[in-house]
Amino acid sequence: MTGNTLDPYSDRYAHRTHGLAVSEIRALFAVANRPEVVSLAGGMPYTAALPLDAVGSMLGELVARNGATVLQYCAGQGDVRLRELICEVMAEEAITGASSDDVVITVGSQQALDLISRIFLDPGDVVLAEGPSYVGALGTFAAAEAEVVHVPLDSDGLVPAALEAALEALRAAGRQAKFLYTVPNFHNPAGVTLAVERRAQIVELCERYDVLIIEDNPYGLLGFDGQTRPALKSLAPERVVYLGSFSKTFASGVRVGWAYAPSAIRDKLVLLSESQILCPPMLSQLAVAEYLSTQPWREQVKTFRELYRERRDALLDGLDALMPPGCTWTKPDGGFYVWLTLPEGLDAKVMQPRGIAERVAYVPGIGFYADGSGQREMRLSYCFPTPDRIREGVRRLAGVVEQELELRATFLSTEPAAAKVRWPRGSAPGPELA
């Protein structure tokens, strides 16, 4: 063996594994989950708000009545009754007349992202994606050794003029993006939503430059005004692969998501999924189908919306009251996340140990970019902690930012020569050591 002492197999891994890295979020998980830490880091849905007794009885009855089917393999594309019910769910966001034949059930939408990456991406291929972008999608693009070109967002979501500029630049370089990956509603991590008037513009640009759209929409029903916006899929069915999930509207633990794709792509999705997992888990699929057909699921989504709105308010009120000048943040109308930008000169990753010492966790922004940017940015999630814990978390975070600002001011005023030292990225000592 010619591997190294740490990993004797290091000489034989496939090239694509070189893109595999621990996500910023996973690395934080252990520490953020300690009870004394207020975690604004993880994006865990608040499953305790489900009617657990009712769900428990439903599952028991399902197995008692149909155990032989529920505990069996199924078709690789997924259970047909669930696929029909999914068409009804998608109608909530203006996808009408969907055909269950074109729906493929996946193990969460994460598996759908992985399938899409494997189907479309060869090493070096270009993916257009918002900057910042969902870290789990970036992981699948990295594993496929693709190159991500980020397109900026603003408070109305992906900026059409910036998308056009990126498409033009690629064309001028003789390159073509394999697809645009976008999260139009209540973006993870940016918290913003694509304005309705921009949706047609984005679709028109992708038509003009012949780019496929991957529309990832796990949060679309969680708008705090109770309204939904038309899916991109409803505007251009043949141009868009739509990804949905029950993780945020029912339960992330059932691991049921889906892709709704043009028929040719659907065939590839089914074949590749069969080679990965044979078929999606029947127990989970029938649990979701039963939940959708016997439980008041729309009422439950409303309960989730109200719960998350109260938590969003606690976070935004706290930020307004306590954050030092120079910090800015997005104001989500739904979903789980606020995206915060620190004052000039601060680095969210460098500040993180101080945050942990002060018992507050967040996710540094750099994990949400493929190009190493995002140093001044961070994601704050309000989905899991109670409003009181959120207020306490913001109080701690504001204190951490203030300490960093003070330290920086002292450092810059007393050590002008040292202040000019440029540390290689990732190796800068925390200000507490400098």
Binding site for ligand PMP (CB under 6 A): 43, 108-110, 134, 136, 183, 188, 216, 218, 245, 247, 252, 257
CA distance 137 to 109: 10
Nearest to ligand PMP of 186, 209 (CB atom): 186
Nearest to ligand PMP of 100, 188 (CB atom): 188
Smallest separation, CB 116 to ligand PMP (Å): 11
Nearest to ligand PMP of 129, 315 (CB atom): 129
Smallest separation, CB 176 to ligand PMP (Å): 25
Smallest separation, CB 148 to ligand PMP (Å): 15
CA nearest 391: which of 351, 418, 353, 360?
Answer: 360
CA distance 45 to 383: 6
Smallest separation, CB 246 to ligand PMP (Å): 7
Nearest to ligand PMP of 76, 108 (CB atom): 108
Nearest to ligand PMP of 163, 243 (CB atom): 243
Instruction: Give the tokens for residue 383.
Output: 């989905």
Residue 11, judged by CB atoms within 10 A of its CB (0-12, 13-18, 19+), counts as exposed
Nearest to ligand PMP of 254, 366 (CB atom): 254
Instruction: Give the tokens for residue 132.
Output: 């910042």
CB 270 within 8 A of CB 250: no
Smallest separation, CB 288 to ligand PMP (Å): 12
Select the residue whose beta carbon is closest to ligand PMP and give its number. 108
Smallest separation, CB 308 to ligand PMP (Å): 14
CA distance 12 to 112: 28
Smallest separation, CB 306 to ligand PMP (Å): 20
Nearest to ligand PMP of 66, 252 (CB atom): 252
